[in-house]
Structure 1
């Protein structure tokens, strides 16, 4: 289990969300890259030095500091779409191999290089992702596959590089909520949402919205999360 590439975004125009820029165009970089906790969402700060988010309402911040996607899943999409997908093509910071990132449990901790990262939540596809891939019906196709890849928060800052092993340091013993299951709960299977409320590692910012959706808070009949 290791990192094949560390990918940092190159700012480019974002006509798909009417924003001045997007950082989804991520390219592999050489050498160690510093990683640290970026702080609260809203500034565009992310975990990797030299990278940032431009849709500050929906991306960036501690719970979405680093995004990982498996090379094996990219290879599957290559075959399905009939096109080459380079490392970083899905906007991931870390392209991994040898680890099923979608089977990781929320709260699972990985050591990569000198940093420790924690699985926090799944990536939810957005209009920028659909526009970037230029694939008809992409949001529906990606959602149906339920291979979102995880966002990770930074528990211990450090540096990481291509070739670094991914070592699973710990896995929660009090739940079995995987990245894939949490994605299905947030997209196609809302009956699974109550399970997310039982997971300490799930982002606090999303809890109240989920409580309303499952009828555990005020406004349950009228509220629901938007998809960034």
Structure 2
């Protein structure tokens, strides 16, 4: 059964690689239960986990990015390639999962974690220069993009508390085939996949608006389809 290997939170630290003076990408595993709640709009309450911070609240956080999950198996592949240890939380993820196919998770899929919390898969993580500077690996954004195992942002459907070791069970799968991997490749590498994304109702509205804009004929000023 899939489970949480660690639950990770971070605090602001100085950075010169962001539009903001600090970054909270350095997440560290915590012991004991962690409260999970629906955050406020982006720019207000930036994260769904108590004790966690997001510094760049302009581009991150809000209900559609309440929690970020990354698979331990994908971290292990990166460890072998990079040749250094990558502990849980190092990619800025709140949840480091074990035996869960995060890249194959469907947009709108729901996970029950422990006895209380239900989270919904919303979108893939798109790498940024803060992430690249934090990892300090050559051509990191390109390498991360080509690998196409971006991890998943999640919404909070039912709040509660979680902790390392909690089982993760898929309790709902939507009736489409748009996975985290497909969405990531469409948005970054394979624009021919973009029309497929509109079948995923749970994809964030801001992302769907960007998809519609990219699909409009060049020079068109038509408003996005509601």
1:10 is matched with 11
Q: Which sections of structure 2, spanning at least 5 residues, go unmatched?
A: none
1:125-204 correspondence runs (5 A): 125-173=127-175, 175-204=176-205
Once residues 95 and 216 of structure 1 are traced to their aligned partners in structure 2, the CA distance between those partners, rounded to angstroms, is 41
What TM-score comes out, normalization by structure 1 length?
0.93
Once residues 195 and 40 of structure 1 are traced to their aligned partners in structure 2, the CA distance between those partners, rounded to angstroms, is 27
Once residues 42 and 220 of structure 2 are traced to their aligned partners in structure 1, the CA distance between those partners, rounded to angstroms, is 24
Q: Is the 8 A contact 2:178 2:199 kept in 1?
A: no
What TM-score comes out, normalization by structure 2 length?
0.94
Q: CA deviation at 1:219?
A: 4.7
Q: Which sections of structure 1, spanning at least 5 residues, go unmatched?
A: 222-228
Q: Is the 8 A contact 2:4 2:166 kept in 1?
A: yes
What is the root-mean-square deviation in Å for CA atoms of aligned residues? 1.6
Once residues 150 and 49 of structure 2 are traced to their aligned partners in structure 1, the CA distance between those partners, rounded to angstroms, is 20
2:55 is matched with 54
Aligned partner of residue 39 in structure 1, secondary structure? coil
1:1-228 correspondence runs (5 A): 1-43=2-44, 45-113=46-114, 114-173=116-175, 175-215=176-216, 219=220
Q: CA deviation at 1:69?
A: 0.4
